Chain A
Amino acid sequence: MDVLFDIFGSANFWAAAIRIATPLIFGVLGALICERAGVLNLGIEGIFVAGAMAGWLAVYLGAGLWGGVLVAALTGAAFGLLHAFLTVVLGLSQHVSGIGITLLATSASYFTYRTALPDVSSPPRIVPFQSLDLAGLSDLPFFGPVLFSQTALTWLALLLVALVAFVLYRTPLGLSIRAVGDNPASVEAQGLSVIGLRIGAVVVGSALMALGGAFLTMSAFDAFFFGMVNGRGWICIALVVFASWQPGKALLGALLFGAFDAFQIRLQAEIGQVVPGQVFLMLPYLLSILALVLVARKADYPRALLQPWTKGQRH
């Protein structure tokens, strides 16, 4: 029990949990926006990779850090546009298109990295985002290290949760996005464009996903590695269901997952000699499946999720 107490009592643990959760917050928000509009975006895993690579490369080639963030977002938006064209305009299978986007974006990123840097053997480094010390608040006991040791991107992620929630529930735009994911005919009958709303949602959502990737190379680490995204995109797809498509719960889910992950790392250090390391790596995924089983059966799916819309057709 002492072990657990030590882990949960340390500010270091909670700081790590938030850090691990940050890319998931971006990703789950992005997936949530797409799905609220009725489009499943399984391109997320590849868009993470593309965002991680593009943002990092831009900075490496001389752009500022925020310039890199912008490049990452635009890269994500471009893949989002492709996904939207295939699934919204052409009405193709969202599963097939999404997995195709993941394969394409991942390979294209590796390819670009290799061609841009043909001669490097060890990954080159950039100067990443530094922790943001807001007016000396990092000196506060416990909360200082937990909250105020985070970088600007983490703060951006938290801000986005509030922003997405506000837009979704408090503005006409959010109203239309929720409506188009539930019954596109309702939007059409009120004179709005189903296609336009869905394209917009997928593009913006994909841009957010790419920021999740950019956090990895520009904040959590300082370089781009192959395989560094490591399933984080897929976790976001599960977290959206866990969150019942609500931004607040999405934040909670991402933090929970971050905490599990930080916990297993520390537990590994404590009792790693007795239990094989792979068991610990498995832990957060196992727990997220468990959480899904408990939550997802009564999940309130957007009713028009996965359904393409053809104008003039009876539904």
Chain B
Amino acid sequence: MTSHTPLLSLTDITKRFGTLIANNAISLDLHQGEILALLGENGAGKTTLMNILFGHYVQDEGTVRVAAGGDVMTTLPPGSPGAALAAGIGMVHQHFTLAENLSGLDNIRLGTEPLLSFGRRHAARAKVEKIITESGLDVDLDRRVDGLTVGEKQRVEILKALYRDARVLILDEPTAVLTPQEAEGLFAVLRRLAANGLGVIFISHKLGEVLAVSHRIMVLRAGEQAGELVTAQADRRAIADLMVGKAVAEVTRTPGARGRALVEFQSVSLGKPGHRAALHGVSFDLRAGEVVGLAGVSGNGQSAIAALISGLAVPDSGTMRLYGDPVTRADPRRLVAAGVARMPEDRQHDGVVGTMSVADNIAIEEVRSPGFSRYGFIDAKAIRARATAAIAAYDVRCPGPDAEARLLSGGNVQKLILARVLERAPRVILANQPTRGLDIGAQAEVHRRIIAARDRGAAVLVISEDLDELFALSDRFLVIHAGEITDAGPAETLDRATVGLLMAGQTHTPETLAS
């Protein structure tokens, strides 16, 4: 399949933003039928490199060349997305670029037909349907995009590129928004596309999926080419070290001392009966000194659990108790004051106020407490001092306490939230998707902090779609499916397959059936 002349060739690409060198003399070749993973931590320069390739940015040095038939390669003019599109380079951005009020088909057609014409809807549909058959990218073309799932939207994005006869497909962190099941489906499609002769560049910071899907891996670190290797011969440990530049400390979990129940759910129901994302009479407890992992495919009631523990909702029926007392009123402030720490699922949206400073965001949950205000007025000096200390203690990388929170990367926003909620030594911690989208370094840091809080005696509920994460953190597993919770027992007694079956709604595992 692999021909001698590459499809695409980047030579000595250098890009500077002010004094920051985002890419330093990076060269790579992509061949037909190949899936090349571009692996690196956040800020390593992966997206910058691809934005240069696609013409969003102009490189300071270096050239991009594409195959032009035979052994000839032509140089792509810098800074022109149009030229990149015309040369057969398709890009699926991390944030989708779809018009949600149009159908999938119309999004695919957009910009491909002369504006002042009647369009070629039928021809377009025929071509897209052919691509769907060949690639397995099944999607309802006539449905408005706002009615599609995230996975389906991503398929529309890929179809957009293929419809324009892309020979090179770039995917920027494509699995960040997908469930593990959807990610598996995507990998299958990518393998099929590569087998049909497409060249694929897969940008990711997740080692596991890179190993699963790619043929070749290029590792970037701080703008430099840290290494290049063939996936089949790659060693997980060695790649992780290449990415981070130093040995990554694995989080070690010692058995905890399980204490009394701090949070109890007794036959709690919330939301529309029969609805998948509602809760239907769930009972469980969270005990001091214990990390409980809540596993489940997203949209099965996790949000309702999170809303209850966050104080955003109260049960429709049943009782939720905090330290033994029933919670009868949705009062987030009282819950926070009582020692509940919340790490929301959508941390950029629900965790911080983007246009407020880092210092204000650290103070925001307890701005009325004596440490932050005096005589009912905000004590800016105290807030700033506390923020400066927290920034140092939690290694929040930002220009300073006055920087706007929206300028922080995802990992640093999460560290900011950790600094806000853990400084108070909370007794109950809700960690909802605590490391989604974070790089290995930040992930390890978040995990370490969660384990430390548990060792201090906090009750922790970790909600995650990442089973590896749940196994790394949890003492005990709960599995949620269609709003019902199964207590799967201590983590030591479980394996991925068992949890996976429970996630799929099988209440009896093969073992229990056998016994």
Instruction: Report A's interface with B, CB cutoff 8 A.
Output: 170-173, 175-176, 178-183, 185-192, 300, 302-303, 312, 314-315
Contacts and interface: CB of A to CB of B under 8 A. Distances in A.
24 contacts: A170-B119, A171-B115, A171-B117, A172-B109, A172-B110, A172-B113, A172-B114, A172-B119, A173-B116, A175-B119, A178-B101, A179-B99, A179-B101, A179-B102, A179-B106, A179-B107, A180-B99, A183-B97, A189-B81, A190-B112, A192-B111, A192-B115, A300-B101, A303-B101
A171 B113 CA distance: 9
Contacts of A191: 81-82, 85, 111
B421 interface: no
A172 B106 CA distance: 9
B99 A182 contact: yes
Contact of B110 (A171, A175, A181, A300): A175
What DSSP secondary structure best describes chain B's contact surface? loop
Given A183-B97, A187-B111, A171 B81 contact: no
Contacts of B114: 172
A312 B101 CA distance: 23
Given A186-B107, A191-B81, A191-B82, A302 B118 contact: no
Contact of B102 (A173, A178, A189, A314): A178
B425 to A, nearest CB: 37
Nearest to A304: B99
B97 A176 contact: no
Contacts of A181: 101
B368 interface: no
Interface of B: 56, 81-82, 85, 91, 93, 95, 97-102, 106-107, 109-119, 160
B99 A172 contact: no
B93 A182 contact: no
Contacts of A179: 99, 101-102, 106-107, 110
Nearest to B51: A312
B239 to A, nearest CB: 29
B457 to A, nearest CB: 42
A314 B115 CA distance: 26
Contacts of B85: 191
Contact of A182 (B56, B101, B111, B115): B101
Contacts of A180: 99
A234 B99 CA distance: 29
Contacts of B115: 171-173, 176, 192
A190 B160 contact: yes
Nearest to A312: B56
Contacts of B91: 189
Report the 3 A-B pairs with minimum CB-CB distance, sorted nearest first.
A190-B111, A179-B99, A189-B97
Contacts of B111: 176, 187, 190-192
Contact of A186 (B81, B110, B112, B119): B110
Given A171-B119, A189-B97, 14 more contacts: A170-B118, A170-B119, A171-B117, A172-B110, A172-B115, A175-B110, A176-B111, A186-B107, A186-B110, A190-B97, A190-B112, A192-B110, A302-B101, A315-B95
